[in-house]
Amino acid sequence: MTNELPPYAILLTHRVDDVDRWKAGFDDHEPARRGAGILGHHINRAQDDPHLITVYLTLSDLDDAKAFTSSPELGKVMQKVGVVSPPQIQYLQPIRNQIVSDRQLPAFLLHHHVADFDTWLGGYDAAGELRQSAGIIGHGANRSLDDPSLITVYHQAESFDALHSFLADPQLQIVMKEAGVTSEPDVTFHTGGWAKTY
């Protein structure tokens, strides 16, 4: 993934019965994704459930992507490659993209609501030094298209311990409060990688 911001993105989560089988099928299906205006992908596996896959797909056209994800053809492909749960799909607007995409890294996905987006974004940007000092080496932020108050943040570090320490830092709690976070963060941990720009 480059650091240029695409106009839209999808966060797609589902369980698979065999990760290698799924990944081979996912790779084979790339031409169809390209045809639907999808620009690239970044794949994550849940730390506590390696069969739970979350795929971040960047998009050039939202309507084309929605038609693609709801098509019967995609449903057949997903069944063929061993997807064993209904996919959960979130449509997003990328806000920041400074992720590390050339290797697999520990990461977390965090979802929370904010009172005012511009206030939150100012606070997020101002926290760059805090992230860096805590060992966060890659980060991204997205805003839900269905609920503009819902923010999805993605952070990467060299270890899960660094991620846990960052989340437990009292200074982070102060920053989030001042930025207008209004809900308890929903955090999941992953190993992320397998990124590609089409």
∠ CA 18-19-22, rounded to 5°: 90
Flag whether pLDDT at 75 surpasses 70. yes
pLDDT band at 4 (very low <50, low <70, confident <90, very high): confident
CA-CA distance, 39 to 122, in Å (whole number)? 28
Cα-Cα-Cα-Cα dihedral sign, residues 174, 180, 185, 187: negative
Q: pLDDT by residue (tens digit) across 132-151?
A: 999 999 999 999 999 999 99
Q: Which pTM does this prediction carry?
A: 0.94
Q: pLDDT by residue (tens digit) across 165-194?
A: 999 999 999 999 999 999 999 999 999 988
Indicate the residue type of 128: G
- For the chain, the residue count is 198
CA-CA distance, 113 to 42, in Å (whole number)? 24
**Residues 63-82, mean pLDDT to the nearest whole number:** 93
Flag whether pLDDT at 2 surpasses 50. no
Domains and CATH numbers, the chain: 8-93 (3.30.70.100), 94-196 (3.30.70.100)
Residue 137 burial by Cβ neighbours in a 10 Å radius (0-12, 13-18, 19+): middle
Beta-strand runs (E) in 60-144: 88-98, 105-113, 136-144
